[in-house]
Structure 1
Amino acid sequence: MQPLASMATRRGLLLVLVVALCEVSALGRTPLWDGNIMMPTGEGHKGEEGTRWAILIAGSAGYWNYRHQVQAESIIADVCHAYQILKRGGLKDENIIVFMHDDIAYHPENPYPGTIINKPDGPDVYQGVPKDYTGSDVTVSNLYAAILGDKSAIEGGTGKVVDSGPNDHIFIYYSDHGGPGVLGMPNPPNLYADDFVGILKKKAAAGTFKELVIYLEACESGSIFEGLLPEGLNIYVTTASNAVESSWGTYCPGMYPSPPSEYGTCLGDLYSVAWMEDTEKENLKKETLEDQYLIVKSRTSNHNTYRSGSHVMQYGDLKIDVEELERYLGFDPANENVTKPGLSELSPVNSDIVTHVPQREADLVHLKHKFYNAKKGSLREANAASELAKTILHRRHLDDSVRLIGELLFAGEDALQKLGAVRPAGSVVVDDWACLKNMVRIFEASCGPLTQYGMKHMRAFANICNAGINSSRMSLASLEVCKISTSVDLGIWSPVTSGFSA
């Protein structure tokens, strides 16, 4: 008989040999993974590679008055530009879902009907953009259904949804006006943070994506996720601003660089332009989400000086930011030879040159430009003066109404401080979201539409809720301040007709 030690040695060698033979056999059938992800779009989610999906949302519209159209132009231009980038990156239209009101390209104020540009002397970005959900179909309910892949819940539009599977990567880009805890939509209701994050949690629980990335352009956009979006959902977010500040417009009249003289509007939003222009020149097989975050953060903050601009933020699963942008935005072969990006490429700008404007001031920039460049004594000058006066009066009405309501509710003592109180970083803006939505409805019933500018007061309504003030007291205060009818916009707001009259 052989010694036990010798038998154990032979058995060990035999086991090693069997394992080696299995590995050789496997290598003969399937090559080793080289670390690169291969995701051909349009092949569905049946294979292991997965598909890239994208949802692009332009929340603004021309609404009932041109003064909002100027703000909508840059937002829709942002979304159209984003579509062109994804298309060049290899995503197919069947995997890109576009929400936009689509009232800008042929608006009477557009100097080149049927075209939209996103930068001075830039190309037309409107051509070829899918019109999946336009006009009255751009709603929060349709957006949520599209994210969840719920075709049965869609009303209108093409019916296109994110029909994703567990290996897929999803990119969501949302450009709009916002306020603490809220994002605007061209059709009511607006999007509230608690509902949106709830939809993201539901999508994650369904297991219908591998990773999801969100880029969000709006004022106070950080408040949509602050204290609400947990880790562990495989969702990564960057926002144009933190929870308490405005985002910024760029390529505006009278600034550097300015749009062509025939354009009287801001052409883009700073954060959006920053990530898109970076994407267009980089090799997305090498640039990571973190690389782009740092580059966009620097540009959006005026190269970390914050002389103008905002704080770009990150939320969710930050570990995802080590991944290449190709997984979400595709890859443009024209940039194959571009080296890995670096912040050293960014050069400081002259601090004496005005380059950006807070997003909420973009309409004033447009109207002032329109007034000062009109022929003296002309109808155009008179119309611009009227629009400017309406806008200023409308803003004053909203600001004064909220202030006076606060003074009534808080007995005048430190009312402004209580209305504007900011919770510690990482805290949610309001404890009771149902209360917040109700306070907005009560205000609008007595004082007129909050509108995009009025979204800045969402924190005031949140703090009214956080103070435990009930709807009855809010109703009485709103009626007392705004009375039966309120003069706004050089017209009359009537809570009876719920509209404006000249």
Structure 2
Amino acid sequence: MIRSAAGVVFIVTLSILAVSDGRNFIKLPSEALEISGNGGSDEDSIGTRWAVLLAGSTGYWNYRHQADVCHAYQLLKKGGLKDENIVVFMYDDIAYNEENPRPGVIINSPHGQDVYRGVPKDYVGDDVTVNNFLAVILGNRTALTGGSGKVVDSGPNDHIFIFYTDHGAPGVLGMPTSPYLYADDVVDALKKKHASGTYKHLVFYLEACEAGSIFEGLLPEGMNIYATTASNAEESSWATYCPGDYPSPPPEYETCLGDLYSVAWMEDSDVHNLRTETLKQQYQLVKRRTSNDNSYYGSHVMQYGDLKLSVEELFLYMGSNPANDNFTFVDDNSLGPSSKAVNQRDADLLHFWDKFRKAPEGSARKFEAQKQLAEAMAHRTHVDSSMKLIGKLLFGIEKGPEVLKTARPAGKPLVDDWSCLKSLVRTFETHCGALSQYGMKHMRAIANICNAGIGRDQMAEAAAQACTINEIHILSVDPSRKEAKAIAHPVANDGEATLAAEVGAGAGASAATALPTRTEIVTAADNNATSEDLEHDTAIMYGRVYGLGRQSGAAAREYRLVIVKETAGHF
């Protein structure tokens, strides 16, 4: 009777295995040892597992990126990877940040465990650099500056997993220190790693806006590299577990806890048996969850490189938590739909707004949050209007916007000359200030300027004209109306300008005019400016001026600054 029952169980088991021949779900026992024809998945045959984890941002409003990396570390540790084989990059300014309601603790989901404890501090603070990141991947200790000195010292049978999470833009990834990490440098490093013969297979998971642009048209097949990205080459990626969403963070948190793509692959890996789940299965599941049912609040997960590697088990790269060994992967989307997500580039505004909303009325904290929000919006206005004006100066009023926004056909890299792109970015920042995590979105516009044959000198001239105000002549100060009138010189002649300059003594006015000490942009132009104003090359700019009327004891007052914009020829 027992023997008969056992036979029935055996037959039923084979039936289940047989119907799964789709068959990325369950493999036959013999197939479990055959990983893409490499002769077995036991520990000896797969070599050493290596991992590089990088969070490329700073600031409490970017909490989620370091939370992602800390979560990834805990997952890999449970999977059996050793600290000596996991290299962690993060600025490490979150866990003990004064804004963190739980000092020394980082969570990656509303009810999540602390993921910060035990995370190695390999490269933190200003040691989180492009140079160190690429040197670690290449195993080049001599190229390192600071940090633990740990590198991926891999051999020909080893498997490497790289996870990067931060802000991005077309062709570029953010870093907490200058310069940015450009797509050509990423792919060049991967090519060098392949040429060195120091890995068997490599998997790269990338969370960033326009992440697809890092590999599209650049990462060739045949290098045994498989990459997936949180977004395609033209869209944002998304933050999740944000204030006001469902599920929402605990009320004391005023920031997003995770990123949609990152949370999707890690929460999947947390519960599934990675000895049987394949890269392709995870890609499909993460793709559905990250698209948020193809809603506006989601992005398109992409895959690049050697797609044939996607049949491999995740175990080869991440190990596997023994607690999940009896879990059979079934593609039932058991993780459920995601909450409403927040555009990566707007997550800082959400933090400042939530901080402002919750702060006591009249408190210093409320004032600080209001100031942070105003400054963030001012910076956005400055960068956007500056780039728009540069396009018009270079290509004309009609053609300029079209040239800057044009996307290249799918499969083509962002730019033909990466050296040109890097040079023009430096030129823009010299004259107009740092792009920042928001301004990076204009990287496609700068790439298009390169593709149109514009050189550094032409870019410098346009940027100087668009962004530099050499003199501000204060005409009058009216304390009763809290208004000051001034003339800015020189300015462009197409009816647009941007005020974003430090103003000091000696700008062509006497002491009696009480020069401002600091200015901030508020709006790009006066909406009430008439067509006649523009025809005569005049327009009005509004800003806030601090320090006007110093000699009358009104230094703390805030004034509206009216800038009368005229062409250089009027002076």
Which runs of 5 or more residues in structure 2 are unaligned?
1-29, 472-496, 505-517, 520-545, 547-571
Determine which of 371, 374, 392 is the counterpart of 1:407: 392
How many Å apart are 1:35 and its aligned residue? 2.8
SS in 2 for 1:492: coil
The residue aligned with 1:336 is 325
Which of 52, 57, 67 is the matching residue for 1:55? 52
Give the structure 1 partner of residue 80 of structure 2: 90
Matched with 1:310 is 299
| Offset of residue 205 of structure 1 | 0.8
Give distance in 1, aligned partners of 2:503 and 2:324. 54
Decide whether the 8 Å contact of 2:53 with 2:162 is kept in 1.
yes
TM-score relative to the length of structure 1: 0.86
Q: Which position in structure 1 is the counterpart of 2:371?
A: 386
Tell me which of 488, 502, 523 is aligned to 1:492.
502
Asked if the contact 1:54/1:96 (under 8 Å) is kept, the reply is yes
- How far 1:38 moved relative to its partner? 4.3
The one of 411, 418, 433 equivalent to 1:448 is 433
Q: CA deviation at 1:346?
A: 5.6
Shift, 1:246, TM fit: 0.3
Q: Which residue of 1 aligns with 2:414?
A: 429
SS of equivalent residue, structure 1 residue 76: helix
Distance 1:74 1:205, change over 3 A: same
Structure 1 residue 263 and structure 2 residue 248: aligned?
no
Name the amino acid aligned to 2:136.
Answer: A
Give the conservation status (yes or no) of the 8 Å contact 1:291–1:341.
no
Inter-partner Cα distance in structure 2 for 1:383 and 1:221:
33
1:491 shift after superposition: 7.4
Q: Distance in 2 between matches of 1:153 and 1:307?
A: 43
- Cα 1:135–1:223 change in 2 (3 A) is same
Measure, in 2, the Cα distance between the counterparts of 1:428 and 1:385. 40
3-state DSSP of counterpart to 2:88: strand
Output the CA distance in 2 between the equivalents of 1:235 and 1:409: 40
Structure 2 counterpart of 1:345, from 321, 334, 351:
334
Give the SS at the match of 1:189.
coil
Structure 2: distance between partners of 1:337 and 1:79? 27
1:485 shift after superposition: 6.3
Say if 2:170 and 2:441, in contact at 8 Å, map to a contact too.
Answer: yes
Q: Which residue of 2 aligns with 1:4?
A: none
Task: State the match for 2:277 in structure 1.
Answer: 287
Change beyond 3 A, Cα 1:471–1:119: same
RMSD of the alignment, in Å? 2.2
Cα distance in 2, alignment partners of residues 451 and 334 from structure 1: 43
Output the CA distance in 1 between the equivalents of 2:68 and 2:259. 7
In structure 2, what is the Cα distance between the partners aligned to 1:118 and 1:307?
Answer: 23
Choose the corresponding residue for 1:417, options 379, 398, 402: 402
Whether 1:70 and 2:61 are equivalent positions in the alignment is: yes
Rounded Cα–Cα distance in structure 1 between residues aligned with 2:500 and 2:393: 26
Q: CA deviation at 1:429?
A: 0.5
Equivalent residue for 2:158? 168
Q: Is the 8 A contact 1:393 1:489 kept in 2?
A: no
Q: How does 1:108-187 map to 2 (within 5 A)?
A: 108-187=98-177
Structure having the higher Rg: 2
The answer to whether the aligner puts 1:473 opposite 2:473 as a matched pair is: no
| Alpha-carbon distance in structure 1 between the residues aligned to 2:155 and 2:274 | 23
SS at match of 2:164: strand
Report the Cα distance in structure 1 between the residues aligned to 2:185 and 2:330, rounded to whole angstroms. Answer: 36
Q: Is the 8 A contact 2:33 2:41 kept in 1?
A: no
C-alpha displacement of 1:284: 0.4
Q: For residues 426-462 of structure 1, what are the alpha-carbon distances to aligned partners after superposition, in whole Å with 9 as ceiling and x for unaligned?
A: 1100001000001100000000011111110000000
Contact 1:275 1:292 in 2 (8 A): yes
Partner of residue 201 from structure 1, selected from 187, 191, 194: 191
Deviation per CA, 1:133-191: give whole Å up to 9, x if none. Answer: 11111111111111011111111111101110110000000001110000011111110
Partner of 1:277: 267
| Equivalence for 2:346 | 361
Alpha-carbon distance in structure 2 between the residues aligned to 1:427 and 1:407: 26
Partner SS state of residue 206, structure 2? strand
Instruction: Specify the SS of the correspondent of 2:502.
Output: strand
Q: CA deviation at 1:207?
A: 0.7
Gaps of 5+ in 1: 1-30, 41-46, 63-68, 495-499
Deviation at 1:103, TM superposition (A): 0.9
1:2-55 Cα distance to aligned partner (Å, 9 max, x none): xxxxxxxxxxxxxxxxxxxxxxxxxxxxx9994364454xxxxxx644110000
Q: How many aligned residue pairs are there?
A: 449
Residue 175 (structure 2) pairs with residue 190 (structure 1): no
Which residue of the partner structure matches residue 549 of structure 2?
none
C-alpha separation between the residues in 2 aligned to 1:389 and 1:488? 16
Partners of 1:407 and 1:110 lie apart in 2 by: 44
Which has the bigger relative contact order, CA under 8 A and spacing at least 6?
A: 1
Aligned to 2:553: none
Q: CA contact under 8 A between 1:248 and 1:309: conserved in structure 2?
A: yes
Q: What is the identity, as a one-letter code, of the residue corresponding to 1:447?
A: C
Counterpart Cα distance in 2 of 1:49 and 1:188: 37
| Residue in structure 1 matched with residue 510 of structure 2 by the alignment | none
CA 1:137–1:488 in 2, change beyond 3 Å: closer, same or farther? farther
Give the secondary structure class of the aligned counterpart of 2:104: coil
483-492 or 247-256: which moved more? 483-492
In the alignment, the residues of structure 2 paired with residue 489 and residue 378 of structure 1 have an alpha-carbon distance, to the nearest angstrom, of 30
Judge conservation of contact 2:285–2:333 (CA < 8 Å) in 1: no
Q: Distance in 2 between matches of 1:489 and 1:53?
A: 49
User: Among the aligned pairs, what percent are the same residue?
Assistant: 60
